[in-house]
Amino acid sequence: MIEKILARGAGQKSVRPGELISVKVDLALGNDITAPVAIREFERLGVERVFDPEKIVLVPDHFTPNRDIAAAEQALALRRFAERYGIKHYFEVGRMGVEHALLPEQGLVWPGAVVIGADSHTCTYGAVGAFATGVGSTDLAAAMALGEAWFKVPETIRFEYRGVLPPFTGGKDLILYMIGRIGVEGARYRAMEFGGDTIGRLSMDGRLTMCNMAIEAGGKCGYMEPDEVTFDYLQGRVKHPYAAEFSDSDAAYERIFSFEVASLQPQVAFPPSPDNVRPVGEAKGIRIDQVVIGSCTNGRLEDLRAAAAVIKGRKVHPKVRLLVIPATQQIYRQAMAEGLLDIFIEAEAAVSTPTCGPCLGGHMGILARGEKALSTTNRNFVGRMGHPESEVFLCNPAVAAASAVAGEIIHPGEVA
């Protein structure tokens, strides 16, 4: 499927793994950290216009609402560029969201599209059947000018998931378990195809979570073939016709991994790496200081519902800070309409406007020396969320909510 998408973008009948090709892009994305660098490089090129003002997306989401003067200057660079070149899809604070939740929600990615973004988690959009991958800021600059990017065609690894997921498990556990099995370089520069009957039953929110973390296994992209779940999600969002691609029944894969999930426990990634994964039972009793529910990985409506179902009628442990960050304004409003935000606030959590914030140690949740956080985000490397001597554990939203109540990492089914 990925080879077909790239071949179409390159104007060729077919491509093979290892080939170097130039591909026309359908969308180029930048945020308030990466786009200012791309803008400076773009201006050095001396071109007078962008390749297509409707195919560039700028989202100030990492250090916004502006955390300091430097962040304000970064955001201003995006705003001025958008005004100067008539960028249609510029999302200001109050209308924005965490980029990789916002773009699918707004119908800006679709099956068969070629999407690049100056952010490694651009691979999220493979959940709708796109080829989507992160690039450097200079590549983004060239794409904004030319509408093209170059790639080496990746080999493909297929991951088959079979069986019905147990309660309190979902897409986050499927991807963490896989990363734990193959490691953070196990799929380096590979296209990662997720399939099997388990994936067929997975919601779009769960699929976006899985493809989001393909990069944590080193993948060039993660993707799933479009199906009725995909098309139902895209209906009313994508306003133009598109052509989905599908893998052939005799497609050749570099490797195939098969996982049975019927007995899968919720998974926890221990510091200092997303591949240091163990069942939640092995994390029981680890005391925590902060819990974060949000990010481009798990800040969607399904995630907030799962967390609220666990925490409803309970209080956050007195020694724990719980931060809840809906990933977009639309998700925020829907969570408010459903009473989810009331549940969190009644439990004494802090609810934030959409932002990447604490995920990358940006703001609104920085850790001090020696503190431990449990988070639904995607990375837990040394210093990721604050002080180099702090620690971050990764999990799904239900585990995060239960642990916020218990004051220690715990299985959601054990919350009294």
DSSP notation for 318-382? TT-EEEE--SBHHHHHHHHHTTHHHHHHHTT-EE--S--GGGGT-SSSPBPTT-EEEESSS---T
Note the pLDDT tens digit of each residue in 69-90.
999 999 999 999 999 999 999 9
pLDDT for 113-172, tens place per residue? 999 999 999 999 999 999 999 999 999 999 999 999 999 999 999 999 999 999 999 999
Please give the structure tokens belonging to residue 100.
């990789």
Instruction: Burial-class residue 318 by CB neighbours within 10 Å (0-12, 13-18, 19+).
Output: exposed
Report the chain's mean pLDDT, rounded to a whole number: 97
Percentage of the chain modeled with pLDDT above 90: 99
Domains in the chain (CATH in brackets) are: 2-258 (3.30.499.10), 267-414 (3.30.499.10)
pLDDT of residue 184: 97
pLDDT at residue 263, as a whole number: 97
Which residue carries 């221990």 as its tokens? 270
The angle at the Cα of 150, spanning 146 to 106, to the nearest 5 degrees, equals: 65
Tens of pLDDT, residues 53-70? 999 999 999 999 999 999
* pLDDT tens-digit readout, 7-36: 999 999 999 999 999 999 999 999 999 999
Q: Mean pLDDT, to the nearest integer, of 285-304? A: 98
pLDDT digits (tens, 9 = 90+) for 156-212: 999 999 999 999 999 999 999 999 999 999 999 999 999 999 999 999 999 999 999
Query: Sign (positive/negative) of CA torsion 167, 170, 172, 174?
Result: positive
- Please name which of 9, 87, 10 lies closest in space to residue 42, comparing C-alpha atoms: 87
At position 270, the amino acid (one-letter code) is: F
- Are 125 and 113 a contacting pair, CB within 8 Å? yes
Q: pTM for this structure?
A: 0.97
Could you give the CA distance from residue 112 to residue 123 in angstroms, rounded to a whole number?
14
CA distance 307 to 310: 5
Q: Is residue 416 pLDDT above 90, yes or no?
A: no
Q: What 3-state class would DSSP assign to 71? A: helix
Query: And the tokens for 125?
Result: 């959009």
Measured CA to CA, the distance from residue 115 to residue 12 in angstroms comes to 18
Query: Quick one: DSSP state of residue 119?
Result: S
- pLDDT exceeding 70 applies to what percent of the chain? 100
**What average pLDDT does range 280-286 have in this prediction?**
97
Give residues with Cβ within 8 angstroms of 7, minimum separation 6: 13, 14, 15
Chain segment 396-415, per-residue pLDDT in tens? 999 999 999 999 999 999 98
Looking at residue 258, what is its pLDDT? 98
Q: What is the pLDDT of residues 244-255, one digit of tens each?
A: 999 999 999 999
| Calpha distance 343→328 (Å, rounded) | 19
DSSP state of 412: G
- What is the model's pLDDT at position 214? 98
Q: Residue 285, Cβ neighbours under 10 Å: how many? A: 9
Asked if residues 1 and 247 have their Cβ atoms less than 8 Å apart, the reply is yes
Helical ranges in 167-300 per DSSP H: 171-182, 197-201, 204-212, 228-234, 295-298
